[in-house]
Amino acid sequence: MMNVWDGPTEFEWDSGNIFKAWMGHKVLPLECEEAFTNHPRFGENDPKHSEREARHFFYGRTDKGRLLTIVYTMRGGKIRVISPRDMSQRERARYDAAVKRHTGV
């Protein structure tokens, strides 16, 4: 279940995760950072992929309204983006339902 996300907004970027985000899904680091700071924003744990380190899903919106799903981990108190992409239809439906549940709109 998606929960309101209220975590840190500092990021750890390197050329590897910047390149992977752009080449894989045409997502810029700035878009990821916008999604993490804009409201509404939600998150949930990803226990299926958390064998070596805890991974999480984040769902948010960029300044231009792009809806992103971002897989991330926390390292040294900073967000390390693993894989950002556009939300799937299913994720958008869940995101919209979470927005209604938490805002009443």
Interval 74-98: pLDDT, tens: 988 899 999 999 999 999 999 999 9
pLDDT in tens, 40-74: 999 887 767 677 888 899 999 999 999 999 999 99
pLDDT at 102: 84
Is the pTM higher than 0.85? The answer reads yes
Report how far residue 75's alpha carbon sits from residue 43's, in angstroms, rounded to the nearest whole number.
17
Asked if pLDDT for residue 5 goes beyond 70, the answer is no
pLDDT of residue 95: 93
Q: How many domains does the chain have?
A: 1
Host domain of residue 98: 3-103
63/45 Cα distance (integer angstroms)? 25
Helix (H, G, I), strand (E, B) or coil at 89: helix
